[in-house]
Structure formats: C-alpha cells, structure tokens
Amino acid sequence: MLVNLGRFIFVDRKMYNTLMPQPGEIWKVNYLVRSPINFASQEQQILYSSLARSFLAGNSQPRYVMIVKEPEILEKIEENWLIIYVMLLSVETDFISNRDLRIPAEISGLDQDVLAETWHIIPALACNLLQPVGKRLSRQIYDYLLTVRDYYHGLVSHLPAITEIQHLGLTHDNLCSTNNSKIQDFHKAEQAWSDVLTVPVAAYYTYLKGINFTNAILNEVLQLEKDLYHEISD
C-alpha cells in the first residue's frame, strides 16, 4: 500500500516542504495509522492490543511523544518511510515513579501535565506523528530524561542532584519504585498501547523483506524489542 506522506517526505529537502522532527520536541500521535502493509480487520485484531485499537478508533485521550533522536537522512529511503526514536509521554499523571517523571504544563507548553516514560523509548514511523505541539524541551531537561533512562539501565553511575531536578521544573518528589504493582500494571498498559507505533515499524521491515504474513510481523515486533533492549544494554 502506497501512502502519501505529504510534508513527511525527507528524501530531498530542496524538492519538498519538510518538517524535520528535532530532539526534545513534543509531537502529537496521529489517530490515523499509516503502514506500508494494509491489514485486514482480522489481522488488526491480532496485531494491535485492545488499548491500541481503542486509540485508533478515536476512543481515548490524545497521546504525545518526545523526539529522542533526529532521523538520519539517506539518499534513498524505501517508499519514503522514515523511522525515528521517541519517548512516550502519558497524560495519566497518577503513576509518578522513579522512572516516570511528571513534566508540568508550564514546562511542556501543553494544556496539561504529562508523564515522561524514561524507560519507554521506541521506534516509530514519522508519518504516524501528526504535528509538533507545545514547547521544545530545553537541552537540560532532555539530557536529564535520558540520564534517568541510562541510570536505571546501569549505563551511568549517578543521577543529577535533587536541587538540579527542582531547578529544571520536573516533579520527582515521589520516588515510587517500578516494582510497585500499580506502576507495573501501568507499564504493561503503556507497552500494549505502543502497538500503535511499533506495529507499523515491524510492518515496514516485513514489507522490505517481501513477506506479507501476520506471523512475520509479530516476529518482527519481537525482534524490534530485543534489538532495542540490547542497544540500551550495550
């Protein structure tokens, strides 16, 4: 299935009106998912969790992500599908933990506070992000969020001092562990919701291989999770 990506065509900046996602920017997730493979209704039931299907049907709150890494520009991009890495943001602010940090609305520029899921960085197709919203987070806040992720993966030895956190405007006063059952349930729900973004990425890789089977896409999703885990652990 060919999709018109509109302004999300990045192959030649001189030829197209491009809008390149930048690290630290907050983008709204599109309710309309674009994928190189057109899924039948039965396949959607298998591939997408109930939470993901509810979002795609427009029956849940808007979702946002923070751009983690600017996508690389290549001379040729197969079917113009561009993959970027994003950190999920949640409007459910009752689940603050040592890895889920609340960013106040006055910092993000959004209409409400959001939780930055520092543990939850995933690949997404740029065409499934609708538009930038709010304010671009400062380099200090961007670096701190990624440092929290690195700290809990054992990649750095310490976090910035609490006074620095307060200075940045981030709320980190409730250090509830992610071992807490309520937080674990929240994380499971967020992982299920992220099918909205990860399934189209898996479909893209399956499309490149010329395989149009549901099982192949499911296997690709699992491989994406493994690769991301190893990338973080290295």
Question: What is the span of the domain harbouring residue 122?
Answer: 6-233
- Would you say residue 24 lies in a domain? yes
Predicted TM-score (pTM) of this structure: 0.81
pLDDT in tens, 163-182: 767 777 776 555 677 778 99
pLDDT 10s digits, 30-69: 999 898 888 888 888 999 999 999 999 999 999 999 999 8
pLDDT value of position 73: 55
At 65 the pLDDT is: 98
The pLDDT value given to residue 176: 74
Residue 169 counted as domain residue: yes
Please give the span between the terminal C-alpha atoms of the chain, in angstroms, as a whole number: 36
For residue 1, tell me if it sits in a domain: no
Domain count across the chain = 1
23 in any annotated domain: yes
Return the closest-CA partner of residue 80 out of 173, 156, 10.
10
pLDDT tier, 74 (very low <50, low <70, confident <90, very high otherwise) = very low
Q: How far apart are CA 128 and CA 35, in angstroms?
A: 9
Q: What is the CATH number of the domain that holds 186?
A: 2.30.30.110
Inside any domain, residue 105:
yes
In a domain, 72, yes or no: yes
Amino acid (1-letter code) at residue 154: G
Which range is most confident: 42-51, 80-89, 108-117, 208-217? 108-117
Residue 208 lies in a domain: yes
Distant-in-sequence, close-in-space partners of 71: CB < 8 Å, separation ≥ 6: 10, 20, 21, 82, 83, 84, 126
CB 214 within 8 A of CB 140: no
